[in-house]
Structure 1
Amino acid sequence: MPGVAKSAACANCKKKRIKCDQKWPTCAPCRRSALVCPGPSSTLKFIQHLAPPTDGTPAGKRKAPVSSKAAHPFAVMVDRGHLSPYNNGNALHGSFRLQVPRFKSTTTADRVSAQLVHLLEIKERTGLELPPYLKFVPERLSHSNCLADSIALLYLTWHQASRGESQAKVLGSRTYGKALKSLQRAVNSQAVYTVETLAAMVILLGLTVHYKPFTLIDYRPHTVAIRHVMRQIGAPQIQSSLHIGLIQSTEGLIGGHFESPWRETNEILQSLSGNNERREGEKEVEAFARTSLEGIMTVFRPYLSNTLPTVLKIRKDPIAMSGSRESVLQDILDVRGLVEAARKDLWEVCSSPGFMAELPEPNFFLGHKVVFTSSTIANYVLSLTMMNISVLAVLYDVQKLYGTVNEPARAESQNLCLKIWKCLPYLESLDAATSTRLLKSVASVFEHATDEEISSILETNLEWSNLGAKSRTDREGFRAEVTRISNLWYCRGSGQQEVQYSIRPPDKS
């Protein structure tokens, strides 16, 4: 009978004494541990039982037939060593060597490419955004060190998340420093205006946003640099899938406060998405929204850099800072008036022709949903609305510190928060990268949600792990992360939080 292998498990599994599923070229345990799988064991023991002798030949002199077919579909057996008697001469004992045809990573680009392919193939949800353009990256890795180093950092981030470890460790890793230095070298060389360098810039910006979900940190230098490189490279060719994918994924990210440099590529992008027609007037609405947001930012940036630091001092010592109360309140009220006026104008412009609409949605716990004709319009509307909510929250908190409870401001803030809650069904219809980015930008609207409301919110099909929820029932993790972001937005001290109260109006029935 044919020889039987003692064990075909890979050396890693044997060393750890765990079960190897032998699914080559990489077994599942090695895949989970992000190890290079050595493949099946190089040497297999076998025992060949012999038929009773018919010619009187001693067992030790008889030869065992060797099959030309491998016991494993990926292996080729080669005779190794001499055969020796076994079981009182009734069998022969020996070994065969397996030659396994498997891919060997000979360069850094090959290794990183294999990691990226593995990352794209698995379906585990780790909270890391994986934009579609990544599938076009492997063939480019050998042409760009900075792109290879950025992908290696991306893989390390996923690996930390999949093992349940803190992803913050990545920021102090050698891989992170190597990726930054590699990109810096590319930017200072002739390789700066290439699609590969652009991809590395976009990946690193995405990871930065992932590590620090929407704080008051200004990402303007990063987005300006990406827009500059995009313009210098020029419009993409229809066959350049990676270039087009980068433009699609960054359209909202760099277009929030800046004019998009890729209006001439609309026909290409629309043809790829199957949407060859845009609603009449949609471009004009987007232009109006962009202009409104850019105008408000001219007054909102000084508010962030001047007024909010004073608010933080007032929170720390209201009595000592009482002399600054009136001037700070007046500054907040001035910004509130401008932001509120711009937000109302934008809502009217978007709602009249139906570019933004509130519709019945019986499957959603609020019974209604707010939808938009494009994610670009949604981005502008949500941004202005969040500015309005943040100013109202700071106004309410400062007045409350000095004994005045501004109920109209709180009621107005609740109404705006409810509007954003109703956008959740629309966010479910977007790609994962866009919906996650918009969720992070509006995280503070969930601050005052009750436990019942949080449970309903987490039931929506969105990636809530980016906002602290380890599962759809993790209300504590979700509330802790939302509170942290709200404290940053509203310049509160750590640990401060308003009492929860229902955002929803009471049921009239």
Structure 2
Amino acid sequence: MVGVPRSKRCERCKRIKIKCDETWPTCTPCLRAKTLCSGPPNLTKFINNGRHTPVAEESSESETMVHFVTSGKGVKNLKSIRHQGLPNGAQLGHFRLSADEPRKNLTTVADRVAARFVGYLTHERAAWDMLASAGYNRHLPVRLSESAALRDSVALVCSTWSNSRRNVPPDQIVDPNLYGKALRSLQRSLEDQQLQLRCETLAAATLLERVELIFDTHRPYQRTRHSFGISSLMSARGPPNPNDELDMHLALENHASMISHWLVHGGENFYLTPTWAEVIQPMKSKLEKSVPAERLPCYTLGYYYGFWPGLVHEFRRITNHPNESLKQELAMNFRDRVATLESKVIDIGESMIERALLTGRMLEQLDPETPIGKKFCFESIDLLSSVISYGMIRTVFNRLQSQVNDLLGELDFLLEADHRNTCRLTWMCIPFILGLGMAPSMMFATSIFLAYEGANEVEKEYLLDVIMKMAAYNGRYPEDRSAIEHIMSNTAKALTGRDVFAPSIQAAAKGEE
């Protein structure tokens, strides 16, 4: 009958053609079969018979978004699937809920988790939340019903957000029961050949890695395992699907995690291979309309970040080369290539900062409370991340060139002055970073470690004070000032090829290799 749902049966009952008793959230046949019930279908038919008043209608070749008002209540976010005229002027349309929101009738666990997740994403403080600002978030709610691993990971994220905003103690922010449940669900998906390479499984692993990095301060550090898993998954899956925005965002936002992984553990950056590059490069233009403008420079700079691990490992090989004359030739060639990369990064970064200052999206203010004397204020967390990313990669390229000069017995005063100016760019962001809270501040600790070497004695004391505040919040770092300085020194040197990463935080604190 026109205007009535075709069937209220769940997907499994329709597929195997059995009667569904519609006892939601799990019908009896699915309960007996011990399978996940999909709940009632999203597909509903509507009729325009003159008693429905159209509020807005936007049409395109691919799809139409239609909003109706029925009995005084709005029916929002419907996508037109099919539209046809009927005799006597009536019209028939098939509509489905749009992909950026969960269903309004919350009949399954996935629906309830999705609704809670959307609530957090639309919270007034979400724009300043490092976890909420990730580009893939808005694509997750409608995918929860397709993956138990993703559903449980999102449930963990919601719980963690809630605990963080209620200012619970740092060691209680991550619920151990939900964390364990999410890990077990992810493990089951990885063991299932049909699920292990799906986009939703990668999204679940990504969320666990993000929660671990930002919030999990006192339990054993699992980020290394997560990064190994994400690297293996992405390598096995191959390039992202250019027609799936979730897949594209996961590829771009996981790049930073993979850079850290390759710096510490080595391995090939598959993002730079021809197979991946021909997919990744056009993706940025595709996402221009769906991501904030301030985030695009971060994605563009990400391409040059891709060279970082390879350059660091190459510099170590040059340093240890047995042939002295060949070593000098390799070093000069290496320095020229790094200088070329840095010039391209400067073009991107300086134009970004100039535009942000001219438009007022980034302000430079006096700051008498710090030895730096000035500070930056930002309109968005995306712009902050882009500026920090620019400062980090410039510092890395600068230090690599300086180290080659040391190897060749040369000195470049302009290069050293440029190093200090670049470090100052990072220092001026610190007051704003601390204003975001201790948990998100930890995301920027590495940039402060890299910028530490460019400071004078007074500035170093200030930077140590900042890191000591973070150490007091983060239970992984020692509270001894000299130990923190050893950790910062080891990290900065290892990130620029002058040292190897210490096997543990404790070893770095003691100055051990």
TM-score (norm 1): 0.47
Which structure has the larger Rg over C-alpha atoms?
Answer: 1
TM-score (norm 2): 0.47
